[in-house]
Amino acid sequence: AQSVTQLDSHVSVSEGTPVLLRCNYSSSYSPSLFWYVQHPNKGLQLLLKYTSAATLVKGINGFEAEFKKSETSFHLTKPSAHMSDAAEYFCVVTPGGAGGFKTIFGAGTRLFVKA
Amino acid sequence: ETGVTQTPRHLVMGMTNKKSLKCEQHLGHNAMYWYKQSAKKPLELMFVYSLEERVENNSVPSRFSPECPNSSHLFLHLHTLQPEDSALYLCASSQWEGTEAFFGQGTRLTVV
């Protein structure tokens, strides 16, 4: 069975400090993993993706994520938060070889950035 | 701008009305999706179309009726909705099922 768990519903950081958004997944096959960001009243935008190539994936806006198979994790990080990073972030898993209807979204983590 | 356009952006409708949501993509993608996003709930996949054929209907009530006339367009026809159907409806497309999806801005639907 496939599942994805975002361990924090809310994360609050100060501007200029590191960001860590945690995601654990469960998949029977080699999964593809994604992080999306959603700003208020907007659609979701792809930040980065892992598809069985390099385990450290770099995305847009300075974000990166590391695929750790032994820990079944795909945490999202950024060295220094910016006010514009305040948004909701979704971790997504698609099991290898499965169709899009098997894609599973996490419940989301809302990131607050304090000045 | 992701290349996926949804109209209208906002819609208020009564429970006896009939309306349609429209989604358009010119990315050459072969799969299109409807999602429902309600407050404090995970994103819910409603429908998946691949090569214009519906491949998944996630137990969605019949008051929601999708239509995919060609690979670039996707509609969601609405009739006799309930207040609990108020939500943000997101359309997405991807090259193939399971590859990264590109989302539209969504239609904010309010049922009164």
For B54-82, write each residue's pLDDT tens digit. 887 778 999 999 999 999 999 999 999 99
d(CA A36, CA B85) in angstroms, rounded, equals: 24
Instruction: Say what the pLDDT of residue B42 is.
Output: 83
* pLDDT the model gives residue B3: 92
Which residue(s) pair with B36 in the sheet? Answer: B44, B89
pLDDT of residue B99: 82
B80, B63, B74: which is closest to B107 by C-alpha?
Answer: B74
A89 shares contact with chain B (CB less than 8 Å): no
Q: What one-letter code names the amino acid at A26?
A: S
What is residue B59's predicted lDDT score, i.e. its pLDDT?
85
Please answer yes or no on whether B98 and A103 come within 8 Å at the CB atom.
yes
Query: What is chain A's mean pLDDT, rounded?
Result: 90
What's the pLDDT score for residue A31?
A: 83
Mean pLDDT of A55-76: 94
Look at residue B41 in the predicted model and tell me its pLDDT: 83
Residues from chain A that touch B43, judged by Cβ atoms under 8 A, are 90, 105, 108
Residue A45 has pLDDT above 80, yes or no: yes
Number of A to B CB contacts under 8 A, please give it. 66
Q: What is the pLDDT of residues A81-90, one digit of tens each?
A: 999 999 999 9
In chain B, which residues have their Cβ closer than 8 Å to the Cβ of A90? 43
pLDDT in the model for residue B53: 83
Compare CB distances from A43 to B90, B97, B98 and report the shortest one's residue. Answer: B90
Backbone torsions φ then ψ of A52, nearest 5 degrees: 75, 20
Q: Do residue B97 and residue A99 have CB atoms under 8 angstroms apart?
A: yes
Residues in chain B within 8 Å Cβ distance of A32: 98-99
Query: Tokens in use for B82?
Result: 């309930």
Residue A97 has pLDDT above 60, yes or no: no
